[in-house]
């Protein structure tokens, strides 16, 4: 015991009758207060062919107008258009909780006549954000790192095709190890409920068939109540979310709602009987935002980081080996790398050359010595105490 009971009482502000209570039960409150004070951030990417309703959906999701100054290109301009990445940031506040929301858009994706590798600039953008974070994290001032890593990518699938198009498969496969992909079936109001159901099944099958790893919702804890488990299962079965977006408010059954007015009726964005918009918004904002951020940090960023460290280590080892060989070969020039020849091939060539030199009958004694030195560790170039190679002539020892 290092402190008396009365001191403990003073320390924890408790009296003797509830001395069992230490106080760490307030830890969640402390974390909560700190996080609320700091605010939250979330970066959402939207990708898919233009005209599928990406901007309309983002505006509907966050009740903002993020695309005020958007310039739409005409058909001629789009022929040769390359994918550009644009970023919009808004600060939203709800009940004192601040969220810095960044939307990354990919205008031009899939618009050109030739869309070969048009996912590349999107992949590069995601990598650049990882790289920036990696640099900041390895730097001196790690306190105020701006985290621009992409936490989720909503990938818009056209409602007019038969399942996935080749470009969809290519995009998702190229990015599934870098970002959490959440597929959505765009403009679901253009399909009947039966068509939506059929398309969803087809898309899910194709995702499985092509080995695309979309964002996986975490498993439910076994002690969760049945209602929660059922909701969770419904969420998992909704993939790809069939969505409808609208920037206009219409009147339906005496209520003003976000919707689309057609001659035959009104499609309500937030009506669960009409589409999965609410499910998607709840998933993104209410239930899985933190998990999306955790998976980004723990899986996608970790993969990037491990890859970076691996290639840095490989470079250092290569450089060290090259310096060693340069010193041992007695020249100051680095060994020229054979163009188009890989490291292992270069090593093989060096080994073959070694063998050739070893078996050459015209070897001079000093050459034999040099050859031995190439394999001795560490590498004293002229070490009077070094042992001669087993095959070397004993008379050459002192040379």
Which residues form the interface with ligand GDP (CB under 6 A)? 50-56, 187, 189-190, 244-245
Q: What single-letter DSSP state applies at residue 335? A: P
Which C-beta is closer to ligand GDP: that of 175 or that of 185? 185
Torsion, CA 356, CA 360, CA 366, CA 368, rounded to 10 = 60
Which C-beta is closer to ligand GDP: that of 53 or that of 183? 53
Which C-beta is closer to ligand GDP: that of 163 or that of 245? 245
- 145 Cβ neighbours under 8 A, 6+ residues apart: 133, 136, 137
Q: Report the first-to-last Cα separation within the chain, whole angstroms.
A: 73
- 172 Cβ neighbours under 8 A, 6+ residues apart: 155, 181, 183, 207, 210, 212, 214
Torsion, CA 377, CA 380, CA 383, CA 388, rounded to 10 = 40
Q: How many CB atoms sit inside 10 A of residue 30's CB? A: 10
Minimum Å gap between C-beta 77 and ligand GDP is: 14
* Whole-number Å distance between alpha carbons of 198 and 91: 39
Which C-beta is closer to ligand GDP: that of 263 or that of 339? 263
Query: Any alpha helices (H) in 329-364, and if so which ranges?
Result: 343-359
- Position with the least CB separation from ligand GDP: 53
Minimum Å gap between C-beta 109 and ligand GDP is: 9
Q: What single-letter DSSP state applies at residue 70? A: -
Which C-beta is closer to ligand GDP: that of 187 or that of 200? 187
Minimum Å gap between C-beta 297 and ligand GDP is: 29
Residue-by-residue DSSP string for 274-285? T-SHHHHHIIII
Minimum Å gap between C-beta 286 and ligand GDP is: 22
Which C-beta is closer to ligand GDP: that of 247 or that of 287? 247
Q: Token digits for 252?
A: 């339906």
Minimum Å gap between C-beta 113 and ligand GDP is: 18
Which C-beta is closer to ligand GDP: that of 167 or that of 335? 167
* Whole-number Å distance between alpha carbons of 188 and 56: 13
Which C-beta is closer to ligand GDP: that of 55 or that of 296? 55
Minimum Å gap between C-beta 169 and ligand GDP is: 19
* Whole-number Å distance between alpha carbons of 247 and 88: 18
Cα separation values, 269 from 114, 240, 274, 307, 370, Å: 34, 16, 7, 42, 79
What b/e string do you get for 187-205 counting C-beta neighbours within 10 Å, with b at 16 or more? bbbebeeeebeebbeebbe
Minimum Å gap between C-beta 309 and ligand GDP is: 38
Q: Token digits for 219?
A: 């498993």
Which C-beta is closer to ligand GDP: that of 187 or that of 300? 187
Contact 260, 189 (CB under 8 A): yes
Minimum Å gap between C-beta 277 and ligand GDP is: 9
Which C-beta is closer to ligand GDP: that of 55 or that of 180? 55
Minimum Å gap between C-beta 50 and ligand GDP is: 4
Q: How many residues does the chain have?
A: 399
Minimum Å gap between C-beta 66 and ligand GDP is: 10
């Amino acid at each position: 015991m290092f402190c008396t009971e009365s001191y403990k009482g003073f320390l924890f502000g408790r009296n003797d009758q509830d001395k069992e209570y230490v106080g760490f039960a307030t830890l969640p409150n402390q974390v909560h207060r700190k996080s609320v004070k700091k605010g939250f951030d979330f970066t959402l990417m939207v990708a898919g062919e233009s005209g599928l309703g990406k901007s309309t959906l983002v505006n509907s999701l966050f009740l903002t107008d993020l695309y005020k100054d958007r310039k739409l290109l005409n058909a001629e301009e789009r022929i040769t258009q390359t994918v550009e990445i644009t970023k919009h940031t808004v600060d939203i506040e709800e009940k004192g909780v601040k969220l810095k929301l960044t939307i990354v858009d990919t205008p031009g994706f899939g618009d050109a006549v030739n869309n070969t590798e048009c996912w590349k600039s999107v992949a590069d953008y995601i990598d650049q954000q990882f790289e920036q974070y990696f640099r900041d994290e390895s730097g001196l001032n790690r306190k105020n790192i701006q985290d621009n890593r992409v936490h989720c990518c909503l990938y818009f699938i056209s409602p007019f095709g038969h399942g996935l198009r080749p470009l969809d498969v290519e995009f998702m496969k190229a990015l599934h190890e870098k970002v959490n992909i959440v597929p959505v079936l765009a403009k679901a109001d253009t399909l009947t409920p039966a068509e939506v159901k059929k398309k969803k099944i087809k898309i899910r099958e194709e995702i499985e068939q092509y080995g695309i790893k979309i964002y996986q919702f975490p498993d439910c804890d076994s002690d969760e109540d049945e209602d929660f488990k059922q909701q969770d299962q419904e969420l998992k079965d909704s993939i790809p979310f069939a969505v409808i977006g609208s920037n206009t408010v219409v009147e339906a059954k005496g209520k003003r709602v976000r919707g689309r007015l057609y001659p035959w009726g009104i499609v309500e964005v937030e009506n669960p009987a009409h589409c999965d918009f609410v499910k998607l918004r709840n998933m993104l904002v209410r239930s899985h935002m933190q998990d999306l951020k955790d998976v980004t940090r723990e899986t996608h960023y970790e993969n990037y980081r491990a890859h970076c460290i691996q290639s840095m280590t490989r470079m250092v080892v290569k450089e060290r080996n090259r310096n060693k060989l340069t010193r041992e070969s007695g020249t100051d020039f680095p060994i020229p790398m054979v163009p188009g020849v890989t490291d292992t091939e270069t090593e093989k060539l060096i080994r073959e050359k070694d063998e050739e030199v070893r078996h050459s009958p015209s070897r001079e004694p000093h050459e034999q010595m040099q050859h031995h030195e190439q394999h001795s560790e560490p590498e004293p170039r002229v070490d009077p105490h070094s042992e001669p190679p087993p095959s070397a002539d004993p008379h050459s020892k002192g040379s």
